[in-house]
Amino acid sequence: MSSINILEAIVAKSKLSKKETAKQQKIVESAIALFAEKGYSNTSTSEIAKKSGVAEGTIFRHYGTKENLLLSVIAPFLKESMPDLAKDLREEVNPDNNTRFEDFIESLIRNRLNFLKANREIFRVVIKELLYRDELRYDLFPHIGKEMSAFIGNAINDYKARGELADIPNDQLIRMILSTIGSQFVVRFVLSPETNADNEEREIESLVRFIVYGVSARD
């Protein structure tokens, strides 16, 4: 079964099931924190139990397996991140205006940045697991790619028509943009998670500039 399907199943199930117990919330919370910090396989269920102030059995009563707990943590993040993106972006970014491509990119970055600021721990978990779970990777990347294409494809065509963008196939453009933004997020949230963000504004600006113009001097 494809991984995205599993995630959907979990989200569906968790929507069906009555509201979470206080203990369940504590469990998920602790699991996220520990998985984020030490990674899934370096975290034991007994640690999670202790941190949650819960008996170990309780974890298994609710989630069945440790693996399933992980998915229950990841699933909502993955499934809800995409719709959120589309909706939010449409509100925040209006490519029809006489905004420039830079503005468009900046909005995109700010939108995702805010999303990740609100979900930084889960993001760390996901990134770490990405390295070990082929299905996750193989499902996720194409999925994201498609969602983004659907969303920014039109915008890109507009900007291309205006002559603002290089004549590069859309999917290549998207991949470059996303991987550049993505890698900055990974650096910021996963590799140096304790960095304080004094100069966030400057970094956004500089990232936008880099994506749009590269490192070359603009005359």
Partner DNA sequence: GATGAATGAGTTTTCATTCAT
Partner DNA sequence: AATGAATGAAAACTCATTCAT
Give the footprint of DNA on this chain (CB under 7 A): 18, 21-24, 43-47, 54-62, 64-67
Q: How many CB atoms lie within 10 A of CB 71?
A: 19
60 binds a second copy (CB under 8 A): no
Q: Which of 2, 17, 21, 206 is close enough to bind a second copy by CB under 8 A? A: 206
Give 123: exposed, middle or buried? Use CB within 10 Å, 0-12, 13-18, 19+. buried
Binding mask 139-168 for a second copy (x = CB under 8 A): --x---------------------xxxxxx
Q: CA 66, 68, 72 angle in degrees (round to 5)?
A: 120
Who contacts 127 (Cβ-Cβ below 8 Å, separation ≥6)?
186, 189, 190
39 binds a second copy (CB under 8 A): yes
Task: Take residue 126 and report the two structure tokens written for it.
Answer: 């996901």
Nearest approach in angstroms of CB 197 to DNA is 33
Rank residues 25 and 210 by Cβ distance to a second copy and give the closer one. Answer: 210
Rank residues 25 and 154 by Cβ distance to DNA and give the closer one. Answer: 25
Cβ-contact 158, 175 below 8 angstroms:
no
- Subset of residues 65 to 94 that bind a second copy, contact rule: CB under 8 A: none
Single out the residue of 13, 131, 18, 10 nearest to residue 79, CA to CA. 10
Q: Which residues bind a second copy (CB under 8 A)?
A: 38-39, 41-42, 101, 127-128, 130-132, 137, 141, 163-168, 172-173, 176-177, 179-180, 182-184, 186-187, 190-192, 206, 209-218
